With several copies, the nearest count.
Chain A
Amino acid sequence: MSGDHDHDGAHDHSHLSDMDARIRALESLLVEKGYIESEAVDEIVELYETKIGPRNGAHVVVKAWTEPEFEKWLRDDATAAIHSLGYTSRQGEHMVAVFNSDDTHHMVVCTLCSCYPWSVLGLPPTWYKSPPYRSRSVIDPRGVLEEFGTVVPESTAVEVHDSTAETRYLVVPQRPAGTEDWTAEQLQKLVTRNSMIGTSFALSPEQAT
């Protein structure tokens, strides 16, 4: 069996180099046809590497942690509250913020494709789009959480949000204890991408140092 797996591994590698060539050919064809500009593709890739990523979401979360009025706005109308900070990019047109508490732990999935709040978290990680996560998160969320090292007590409800519409979910993790006098800048370092998907908690002060 292991021999067979090696073989499949080799197959994957040839897939990848095939894909490099295939995608180069595709791009040159679409440019020649006038449908796209390579410079625009460069710019899109660049923006999602540098400007549109989980720091946007961390900004939203920390503002909710530190400003009660913003927290209320985010609960009542997440779309307006998030757009007010300039995070209006695509896959963020309709936002719902869900707040973790001792009673309920929220996590987000898209079982049918890869819906994800790009405007506040950037592009989804590979695991978020993978069959293991998409299949198991709705039927065995606690098992998935444990793989991430996230143990939710039996007495806390786990609520999974399957993103079947254009609504995009942002999880607001619980603010870690011992951060009462931290600045917004310090707090943002505790807000990981996974904590805003709900597969992890926000980092503790100890983890962040």
Chain B
Amino acid sequence: MNGGQDLGGMHGFGPVVSEPGKPDYDVENYHAHWEPRVMGMVVAMGACGQWNIDISRHARESISPAEYVTFPYYKIWTEGLEKLMLERSMVTAEELTTGEMRTPPITVKGRLKKADVWTALHSLGGAANRPETRKQKFKVGDLVHTINTHPTTHTRLPRYARGRTGEITKILGFHVFPDSAGNGKGDDPQWLYQVRFTAQELWGEDKNPRDTVTLDLWEPHFNSA
């Protein structure tokens, strides 16, 4: 979707760095007490097995663009988590407001225990590659032209790279396709490639002719150029 999350190429948000040149800018990852709790809860809730990573990304990007570009990032995560739980009747809106349980929990696949955290985090269970059921259509060096599509649903092809010509620079594997999995339509694995675009192709002739941007894109995102 062309939501508030699709930020690549926008102007006007101001500087990245408020303290220019500081060697390792912004060492802290959190800026309020509630932020690490959100991070930990979102990770822990994964063990319930009620959604995949693409569905959780889509939940976050579905908030209004006005909220997306003004909320602290872990507040976006909070909104996404609550939306996912509400959709699945894991909680009710009233429970979220009061913080008190009024309805029984739904049955979930599991609950993460403290002793299992290290193992769970290191399990590689989140790997996105799948058994290869067909050959890749493209090889390194092929020129491809991305499709111009504007779905209201989840996609990992950002607006700035649609309808552009690039070169395949790596074959990355046979991976879950987020444009399907993020919309609740199953893994539908596809061949995944690194595709390199020149800055001039993406942004115009005034860019440095040496500069490039790579994106990792799946076969349905492009055709032979």
Contact = CB atoms under 8 A, between A and B. Distances in A.
Nearest to A193: B24
A22 B96 CA distance: 8
A207 B23 contact: yes
Contacts of B17: 127, 147-148
A157 B215 contact: no
Contacts of A43: 114, 117-118
Size range of the interface on B? 35 or more
Interface string B180-218: 000000000000101010000011000010111111111
Contact of A111 (B6, B11, B31, B176): B6
Interface in B1-32: 2, 5-11, 13-17, 20-29, 31-32
Size range of the interface on A? 35 or more
A33 to B, nearest CB: 4
A149 B20 contact: yes
Nearest to A98: B214
A90 to B, nearest CB: 5
A180 interface: no
Contacts of A135: 7-11, 13
A113 B65 contact: no
Interface stretch (A45-53, A66-74, A171-179): A45-53
B41 A165 contact: no
A56 B31 CA distance: 23
Contacts of A126: 26, 28-29, 31, 73
Given A26-B78, A32-B101, A135-B10, A148 B96 contact: no
Contacts of B34: 16, 19-20, 22-24
Contacts of B66: 131
A132 to B, nearest CB: 4
Given A96-B170, A96-B194, A123 B29 contact: yes
B191 to A, nearest CB: 11
A134 B44 contact: no
Contacts of A162: 8, 158, 161, 213-216
Contacts of A41: 37, 40-41, 44
Nearest to B64: A131
A44 B90 contact: no
A167 B193 CA distance: 10
B21 A139 contact: no
Contact of B210 (A44, A112, A124, A156): A156
27 contacts: A15-B72, A23-B37, A25-B98, A26-B41, A29-B96, A29-B101, A30-B45, A37-B113, A40-B116, A89-B121, A90-B125, A112-B156, A112-B158, A125-B28, A131-B7, A131-B69, A136-B16, A139-B2, A142-B208, A149-B21, A162-B8, A162-B213, A162-B215, A165-B178, A166-B127, A193-B24, A199-B25
What are the nearest 6 A-B pairs in CB distance?
A25-B99, A149-B21, A111-B8, A165-B216, A41-B40, A157-B210
